Chain A
Amino acid sequence: QSVLTQPPSASGTPGQRVTISCSGSSSNIGSNTVNWYQQLPGTAPKLLIYSNNQRPSGVPDRFSGSKSGTSASLAISGLQSEDEADYYCAAWDDSLNGPFYVFGTGTKVTVL
């Protein structure tokens, strides 16, 4: 089963804008919506963005998502120290043996 490809790391200084990419295929991102999860060190993942660009209640509007074709991206504007975490994109995959849920490879965001 395929995974979604993310850069292993991203960084920025407080207040900067950071963008994370997520590359998939026609059977996953190309056919379904994208979700993003944030995992702070030592904790369970938390839903950050769903349906490409929707924020659950309580998620700051500094976080935004978008999708185009078989790729998606997460943007963090006004970067804060508490944003230092691992970020994962995810989507359902409609391959022949599926459906199944695929996660991205993960991106570690460091606040410099």
Chain B
Amino acid sequence: EVQLVESGGGLVQPGRSLRLSCAASGFTFDDYAMHWVRQAPGKGLEWVSGISWNSGSIGYADSVKGRFTISRDNAKNSLYLQMNSLRAEDTALYYCAKELRFGELSGPFDYWGQGTLVTVSS
């Protein structure tokens, strides 16, 4: 059974940093691209970032480019999101999601975690 379990969320002050993790199991992690998607309270879905199976291809939404860094450790079956210079508008539930097909960033996302909540507030 595919499982994606996010962790690392919490309350953080504006301008500070936070690192999210996603532990994957139930599939061959290093075969698939992975993504972070967020949802602000009461709002819609926003793609944040994606990384290909071998980290060779990475993409970011304009809203986080230069502040967030996605990475993965295939030996640990884990996905990460380093978030720096956090702003109030980054407050959201952050989901980890797996691509349906092997390899590159091509979508769609067939499995999602339950999310970890990030709250940016002083």
Which residues of A pack against B, CB within 8 Å?
Answer: 1, 35, 37, 39, 44-47, 50-51, 56, 86, 88, 90-92, 97-106
B45, B63, B108, B112 interface centre (most CB from chain A within 10 Å): B108
Top 5 A-B pairs, shortest CB-CB distance: A35-B108, A101-B47, A44-B112, A106-B44, A103-B45
Which residues of B pack against A, CB within 8 Å?
Answer: 35, 37, 44-47, 50, 59-63, 95, 100, 105-110, 112-115
Q: Are B46 and A103 in contact (CB under 8 A)?
A: yes
Query: For residue A97, which residues in chain B have a CB less than 8 angstroms away from its CB?
Result: 62
Check A99/B105 contact, CB under 8 A, given A44-B114, A56-B110: yes
Contact of A44 among B50, B62, B63, B115 (CB under 8 A): B115
Write the nearest CB–CB distance from A37 to chain B, whole angstroms: 7
Which DSSP category, helix, strand, loop or mixed, fits chain A's interface?
strand
Contact of B44 among A56, A101, A103 (CB under 8 A): A103
Question: Apart from A44-B115, A45-B109, A105-B44, what are 18 other A-B pairs with CB-CB below 8 Å?
Answer: A35-B108, A35-B109, A37-B108, A44-B114, A45-B37, A50-B100, A51-B108, A90-B47, A90-B107, A97-B62, A100-B47, A100-B62, A101-B50, A101-B105, A101-B107, A102-B47, A103-B45, A106-B44
Write the nearest CB–CB distance from B91 to chain A, whole angstroms: 18
Alpha-carbon distance A98/B45, docked complex (angstroms): 18
Contact of A92 among B46, B60, B106 (CB under 8 A): B106
Q: Which residue of A lies closest to B63 (CB)?
A: A1
